[in-house]
Structure 1
Amino acid sequence: MRFIDVSDIDDIALGSALLGAGGGGDPYMGRLEAIAAVKKHGPVKMLDAQEVPDDWTVAPICGVGAPTVALEKGSNGSEYARARELLEALIGKKIDAFLLSEAGGLNSLVPVSAAARAGIPLVNADGMGRAFPGIEQDTFSLNGVPTSPMVFVDEKGNRTVTETIDNSWTETIGRAVTTACGGQVICLGSSMTGEKMKRSAVLGTVDLAQRLGRIIRTAKDVRDEAPRDYFLRETGAYLFMTGKISDVLRETRDGFNFGRTVLEGFGEDKGKTGFVEFQNENLYAQIGDDVVMTVPDIICLVDHDTFTPVPTDALKYGKRVMLIGLPCDDAWRTPAGVALGGPEFFGLSVPYAPVEQTHERFGR
């Protein structure tokens, strides 16, 4: 058990953006809101999963919608209490702790804000170990946790409940609700016991995000090796290409950001071309004619000089970046995990191969 204070939030935000694979929302808004909530309500008590009593009721809380909308629209903070109040009435139980739905820049910090305002603990765990665009794409679904009932709350005060026949229908109906509410809402659902959470969640997510953020923040200060080598070694990331963003194609539809980031190699990669396709999160990366990485592994673009992750909603022409990949949690490498979070789920006609293997063929 430890407490999350203002001094922890910057590194958590930075590391979460790396785990978010370009999605999970821009950490800027989440960081500001979390800092404000902790300053007002005090540090957030965080428990490791094994410290959570088996009979507690816990639930992941997050923002749903297009990241570009979240950056402009934000929330007013009252959504968390309204969501919790309604879900508790629906399930007839008190929510004892929040946890992260995913590891993403904004969505790793929404639970910090919510826990601070509610005065309840946060669990050091999440449902993905990365970020995915779909509500149903989590390790809770892989372990039979129903999303229903799920509450969607917007900043205007609208509250919608979905009770669906399966978790994929929660995504379908919830996305329609999100779009009707302006493209961004707070959602709370997938409630479960502490015992079920321990068997279903990706553990240690907040600590991992904070460690990764610290590595990124301090990489430029190392003296005994090249900062890039330090960053890659300490994060466990695989480098595939250094390039300049030569074009960004982006559109918002159906509550998602869709697009492609086009890269032109420079330095050691001069003459190479590539692109990254995204749906909120980066889905696959191609260099020349070769697909070099796909979901469920974590595909990231980071600033070439500072190693700061670049979310899909912050991509800009001319920016120099590194295309890197990190291994996903082992749960996503099972047959069920690949089916729910792999290439075929997103309509891609390429087989999944672990990033460690593709790096041997296509990496640097």
Structure 2
Amino acid sequence: MQQLSMVDIDNIAHGAGILGTGGGGDPYIGRMLLAEEYRRGSVATLMDPDEVADDDLVVASAFMGAPSVVMERIPSGDEAVEALRVLERHLGRTVTAIVPMECGGLNSMIPLLVAAKTGIPIVDADGMGRAFPELQMETFGVYGVSGSPIAICDDRGHSVLVDTGADNLSMERHARGVAIRMGGVAYIAEYPMSGSDLKRTAIPRTLTLARSLGKAVTQAKSSGRSPLQAVIDSCTTSIYGHARLLLEGKVVDVARATSGGFVRGTAEIRAFDDSRSVELSFQNEHLIAKEGDTVLAIVPDLISVLDTETGLAINTESLRFGQRVQVIGIATPSIMRTPEALDVFGPSAFGVEEPWVPLENILVAGAVHRDA
């Protein structure tokens, strides 16, 4: 186990923004809450998956709802801790380790905040390898772990327990309804599992990857190197295995609305010389990048939008006309590519008609392929 410094937290926040594929919430808010907790003397401890005992009780911690609402209703930081305590009381057991639901955006920061506040170690793993908009879209559930009972808390001290047994899709629907009634955002503790199940179903060492991504971008900027190439190099030497630039240009159009607890919409990115144009479709996170009728990348592979100058990620709720950006694709790890996984979070799960084709197998004229 290792204690994380605020430099580590900053790097994880930057890297998780990239892995968040436009969603998962803005990590800045969580980073500021963690900075305050660290000033009080608390520290988050990172635990390798191999250090988790088979009989440990591990619980996933996160926020759920529309990321744009979090920007309007800043949490105190206690909501996710209360969700954990509500679930512990219901189970009659003490949680021995926390795991992120996803490694993207704010949802990389919330479990770190819970770890710092409670002293419970956080496992270097997660259940999505990116960010997804729905709770059943986790490798924990794909490989047989029940998401419920789930504890849901808001910023007013209200809490709700939902138990749908092994039906994770129903858990998502009930929990989503509760989160909407709570104002569009809530904080959760879910997927209570044994250490053995965690090691069998989680995507390993994704917080370490996020930290490496953030550090690589920071070092590239300070040394005058390309932040984009640093991101691509970090991804291609990880279990993700492949990354590429899809388009560099400017944002020329954004259509976005919050409905059903999600931020949905499209964005158009046009090359600086007007020779190419890519449309991104998103539901909290980017789902598909298309140039005309040609698919450049598609869920569950990652699609992220980076600021051209800084290499930092731009969330879907922060996309604005005129931004100069780089659209990148990152391949998913093998655990997210099985038929069982694609049934849960492949294109059809989002109503996307195009079939999934692995990013590394998509050959498109104009899309820049930069493997390490």
Structure 1 residues 85-94 or 37-46, which shifts more? Answer: 37-46
The runs of at least 4 consecutive aligned structure 1 residues that moved more than 2 Å come to: 220-223, 225-237, 359-362
- The one-letter code sitting in structure 2 at the alignment partner of 1:183 is G
SS at match of 2:357: coil
Distance in 2 (alpha carbons) for counterparts of 1:313 and 1:261: 11
Distance in 2 (alpha carbons) for counterparts of 1:226 and 1:296: 26
**Partner of 1:164 in structure 2?**
164
Distance in 1 (alpha carbons) for counterparts of 2:269 and 2:45: 42
Measured on the aligned residues, the alpha-carbon RMSD in Å equals 1.5
SS at match of 1:264: strand
Pick aligned residue for 1:238 from 232, 238, 244: 244
Pick aligned residue for 2:309 from 305, 309, 312: 305
Q: Does structure 2 conserve the Cα–Cα contact (< 8 Å) formed by 1:102 and 1:108?
A: yes
- The one-letter code sitting in structure 2 at the alignment partner of 1:276 is L
**Partner of 1:49 in structure 2?**
49
Distance in 2 (alpha carbons) for counterparts of 1:332 and 1:227: 27
SS at match of 1:174: helix
Pick aligned residue for 2:259 from 243, 250, 253: 253
Q: Does structure 1 conserve the Cα–Cα contact (< 8 Å) formed by 2:43 and 2:119?
A: no
- The one-letter code sitting in structure 2 at the alignment partner of 1:25 is G
Cα displacement string for residues 71-130 of structure 1 (whole angstroms, at most 9, x for unaligned residues)? 221211222332122111211211111110001110001011101111111111111111
> Offset at 1:292?
1.2
SS at match of 2:362: helix
SS at match of 1:21: coil
**Partner of 1:358 in structure 2?**
362
* TM-score for the superposition, normalised by structure 1: 0.96
**Partner of 2:271 in structure 1?**
265
Distance in 2 (alpha carbons) for counterparts of 1:138 and 1:36: 30
* TM-score for the superposition, normalised by structure 2: 0.94
Alignment pair present for 1:330 and 2:334:
yes
Distance in 2 (alpha carbons) for counterparts of 1:230 and 1:147: 36
**Partner of 1:121 in structure 2?**
121
> Offset at 1:189?
1.3
**Partner of 2:190 in structure 1?**
189
Cα displacement string for residues 129-180 of structure 1 (whole angstroms, at most 9, x for unaligned residues)? 1110011100000111101100000000110111114000011111111111
Q: Does structure 2 conserve the Cα–Cα contact (< 8 Å) formed by 1:154 and 1:184?
A: yes
Q: Does structure 2 conserve the Cα–Cα contact (< 8 Å) formed by 1:6 and 1:39?
A: no
Distance in 2 (alpha carbons) for counterparts of 1:297 and 1:321: 19
How many residue pairs are counted as aligned between the two chains? Answer: 361
1:232–1:77 Cα change, 3 Å: closer
Ranges in structure 2 where 5+ consecutive residues have no aligned partner: 237-242
Q: Does structure 1 conserve the Cα–Cα contact (< 8 Å) formed by 2:19 and 2:302?
A: yes
Distance in 2 (alpha carbons) for counterparts of 1:77 and 1:307: 28
> Offset at 1:361?
5.3
Identical counterparts, % of pairs: 36
Q: How does 1:26-65 map to 2 (within 5 A)?
A: 26-65=26-65
Q: Does structure 1 conserve the Cα–Cα contact (< 8 Å) formed by 2:23 and 2:286?
A: yes
**Partner of 2:240 in structure 1?**
none
Q: Does structure 1 conserve the Cα–Cα contact (< 8 Å) formed by 2:59 and 2:191?
A: yes
- The one-letter code sitting in structure 1 at the alignment partner of 2:249 is G
Distance in 2 (alpha carbons) for counterparts of 1:136 and 1:74: 26
Q: Does structure 1 conserve the Cα–Cα contact (< 8 Å) formed by 2:217 and 2:230?
A: no
Ranges in structure 1 where 5+ consecutive residues have no aligned partner: none
Structure 1 residues 7-16 or 39-48, which shifts more? Answer: 39-48
Alignment pair present for 1:210 and 2:216:
no
> Offset at 1:262?
1.1
- The one-letter code sitting in structure 2 at the alignment partner of 1:292 is L
**Partner of 1:174 in structure 2?**
175
1:120–1:231 Cα change, 3 Å: closer
**Partner of 2:239 in structure 1?**
none
Q: Does structure 2 conserve the Cα–Cα contact (< 8 Å) formed by 1:292 and 1:362?
A: no
> Offset at 1:360?
5.3
